Amino acid sequence: MSFRKTRHVATIAAALLIASTALTAPDEDWSPAQWVYEDTIELGTTKPGEDLYWFPVWLVVIDDEVYVRLGSIASERFEESTTKPFMGVKIAGKEFPKVEGISDPAKAETVSELMREKYWTDIFVRWMDHPLTLRLEPK
C-alpha cells in the first residue's frame, strides 16, 4: 500500500473513531450532584405494542450517581420494556433519551434509608414491595 493510501485509511479510521466516541459518550448535561434536592425523576419505558410511557419515581443521589427504587408496577414496566435495560429519563427540565437502568441490589438498603430521610411520606411507601433498585447511567 502506498504512503498516500495508508495516510488516507488512517485519516478515515481516526474520523470514525472520533465519531463513534461522540455517539457513545455520556451526555454532558447529566449532573447528579445538581439533582440531590429534586423530588422526582420521570422514567420512560415502552411495553410491547404500546407507545412510550412516562412515570415519576423518587430518586436519591449517592456518590454522584442517581438511584431509583421501583415498586411492583414500575419494576414490571422496566422488565417488560422493549428497550430494556435502556429507558428515557426526564429530570430538572432536561430529557435524556438513552439511560441504562442497572440493577444494584447491594445498594437497596442504603437507597431505602436515604428515601426515608428525604421523603416524609416514605413512612407509608416503605411497607410496599420494591423489587428493583436501579442505578441510572446515561449512554
| DSSP summary character for residue 39 | -
Q: Identify whether 52 is part of a domain.
A: yes
pLDDT of residue 125: 61
Q: Identify whether 10 is part of a domain.
A: no
For residue 31 the three cell numbers come to 449532573
Which H helix or E strand runs over 74? helix 72-80
Q: Identify whether 99 is part of a domain.
A: yes
Q: Identify whether 123 is part of a domain.
A: yes
pLDDT in tens, 40-87: 999 999 999 999 999 999 999 999 999 999 999 999 999 999 999 999
Per the model's pLDDT, the better-predicted residue between 18 and 108 turns out to be 108
Considering its fold, how many domains does the chain have in total? 1
What's the chain's average pLDDT?
A: 83
3-state secondary structure of 64: coil
Q: Identify whether 19 is part of a domain.
A: no
Q: Identify whether 1 is part of a domain.
A: no
Residue-range definition of the domain harbouring residue 99: 32-138
pLDDT of residue 32: 98
Q: Which of 2-16, 20-34, 90-104 has the highest mean pLDDT?
A: 90-104
Q: Identify whether 117 is part of a domain.
A: yes
Q: Identify whether 6 is part of a domain.
A: no
Residues sharing a CB contact under 8 Å with residue 10, sequence separation 6 or more, in sequence order: none
Q: What is the CATH number of the domain that holds 92?
A: 2.30.110.10
pLDDT of residue 106: 97
